[in-house]
Structure 1
Amino acid sequence: MSNRMKNPAEVIPQAFKGIGNLLAAVADGGLPETTTELVAIRVSQLNGCAACLQGHAVRLADVGIPIEKVVGLAAYRESPFFDDAEKVALALADAVTRLADSEDAVSDELWREVTKHYDEKQTAALVLCIATHNLFNRVNVTVREDAEHPFWLR
């Protein structure tokens, strides 16, 4: 599958800079890097973004995510390989990514669970992480970003 156009973040360098700033903010939020990677992969799975999945696959070993978590990610709720904090972060990722699928996508119950495991800064980072990866996915799927050679890995 070929790209429809260059990635907008490549065409408009200010956009790439802005995305980089969002990612830097997420990194400064105090979340474990493994959590941000798992969330990014989960969001990309839900959105069917092959380029993002490939981009995150190359980081798994660097971040220290074991294969059991990668294989079990689609069934994280039932998997014994995720702790409660990771499960709730992934549940929030599911809810935010699928906002239109529910009248109350991010329920008060889910929010209480999130804030039980993460402080305010970490929660802010988690919300930004989910939103940023949804942004990536929507752009990359729209332009059919090359999954084998995404522009940010060239």
Structure 2
Amino acid sequence: MLLPGVTEHVLGVLKAVKKAGVPQATLDLVHLRASQINGCSYCVHGGTLQAQKAGERDERLHTVAAWADAPFFTPAERAALALTEAATRLGDRTDPVPDAVWDEAAAHYDERQLAALVLMIGMTNFFNRVNVTTRQVAGQAW
């Protein structure tokens, strides 16, 4: 709002991501998981509400933080969530996004979809950082 034009460009990136063929449910899970990792209550709350509105099941939303041990996710969703965790936790290891994580994602998504996933992860991390830095509170409008 303080920097004219930024919102339109950010929304343009998100619009392109949504057109790349990754299921919306997967994008919602990616957004939610990155937001959980980053401790962004605003995005966790908003992302959960958006996913519920789109028909996402509560059992999946309640267990996305423990997706690796929960039986509710497809192999493709698991690959997207593993990529999300790796790309969000860049500083946690010397090889932040191991080939095995990338290769598993590439086994389920084509290049365009992988680009969309990477952008969705990046945009979520962007929003998380803006919202946490400016202390946005879950449930409150900007």
- What's the TM-score, normalizing by structure 2? 0.96
**Cα deviation per residue 1:83-124 (whole Å; 9 max; x = unaligned)?**
110011001000000001111111111111010000111101
User: Partner residue of 1:43?
Assistant: 34
Structure 2 counterpart of 1:69? 60
Q: What residue ranges of structure 2 are gaps of 5+ in the alignment?
A: none
Match of 1:145 among 118, 136, 140: 136
Q: How far is the alpha carbon of 1:57 from its aligned partner?
A: 2.0
The yes-or-no answer on 1:84 pairing with 2:81 is no
Percentage of matched positions with identical amino acids: 43
* Counterpart mapping for 1:82-121 below 5 A: 82-121=73-112
Post-superposition offset of 1:60? 2.0
Cα offset, 1:37, TM superposition: 0.3
Aligned amino acid, residue 105 of structure 2: V
Shift of 1:132: 0.3
Work out which of the residue numbers 51, 54, 58 in structure 1 matches 2:49.
58
Distance 2:66 2:25 in 1: 17
- Which amino acid counterpart does residue 41 of structure 1 have in structure 2? L
- Contact kept, 8 Å, 1:51 with 1:150, in 2: the verdict is no
SS where residue 22 of structure 2 aligns? coil
TM-score (normalizing by structure 1): 0.89
Cα drift, residue 58 of structure 1: 1.8
Q: What amino acid is the match of 1:138?
A: R
| Moved beyond 2 Å, runs of 4+ | none
The answer for the alignment partner of 1:17 in structure 2 is 8
Tell me if structure 1 keeps the 8 A contact 2:52–2:58: no
Counterpart of 1:18, as a letter, is H
TM-superposed CA distance for 1:125, in Å, is 0.3
Q: Distance in 1 between matches of 2:39 and 2:59?
A: 21
Q: Tell me the number of residue pairs that the alignment of Structure 1 and Structure 2 aligns.
A: 142
Whole-angstrom distance in 1 between the partners of 2:42 and 2:15? 21
The code of the aligned residue for 1:150 comes to A
